[in-house]
Amino acid sequence: MKLNNLTSQTFGQLTVKKYVGQRRWLCRCSCGKETVVLATNLTSGHTKSCGCLRGTGIIGKTYGTLTVLEAADDGAYLCRCSCGKTCFRKYMSLVQSPETVTCDDCASKKRADALRKTSFVDGTQPSHLKCEPTKANKSGVVGVNWDKSRCKWQAGIRFKGHKYNLGRYDNIQDAIDARKAAEKELFGEFLKWYENFKKENKHEKDN
């Protein structure tokens, strides 16, 4: 079958540059991007651009917290978030998540807020009450650290958003004892309450 020469012809926003084989043609879009298109898609009007026209109708529209300002490179769009910051989003990111799409900063804040809601109870993160000491901790006990400036062991405890200084000691065991006593005093009733709190919440969710 004789090949119909499409070179230099224009179809929509596409100008045909050359034949590349398998009934496909290299075209340059009016936006400057080159793309390879099947001959039948060109002549039938199925393909009229490199894809940049696909989202022209979304400029000025709002998706999630983002308002589309203008088209940018690589199929992305410059958007302004309700927080005032700008960002770039792909067409599909906008239209596939029209209720939740947002800028990176707002997305991070939303994740952090969700984490706080699920991990903090009454200003305290229960999972941290029984956490293991870090590798940098020389005492082997959370809340007991070596104070180089005073050459003493320092004991402290954090609870419900407050940090309590439990004193400095020459003997590490004295510092550990102070920490353990504070844990029993502060954490004891709270942990009992929290266990009941989890059971009650689980019961409500099950219902």
Is 131's pLDDT higher than 60? yes
pLDDT tens string 71-121: 776 667 889 999 999 999 988 888 888 888 999 999 998 887 766 555 555
Q: What percent of the chain has pLDDT over 70?
A: 77
Q: Which of these ranges, 35-39, 100-104, 180-184, has the smallest mean pLDDT?
A: 180-184
State whether residue 195 is helix, strand or coil.
helix
Sheet containing 162-169, strands listed edge to edge, beginning at the edge strand earlier in sequence: 144-147, 152-159, 162-169
CA distance 155 to 178: 7
- Across the chain, mean pLDDT equals 81
What torsion, rounded to 10 degrees, do the Cα atoms 146, 148, 151, 154 define? -30
pLDDT tens string 145-171: 999 999 999 998 877 777 888 899 999
Which pLDDT value is given to residue 205?
Answer: 47
What amino acid is encoded at 205 in this protein?
K
What amino acid is encoded at 40 in this protein?
T
pLDDT tens string 50-62: 877 666 678 899 9
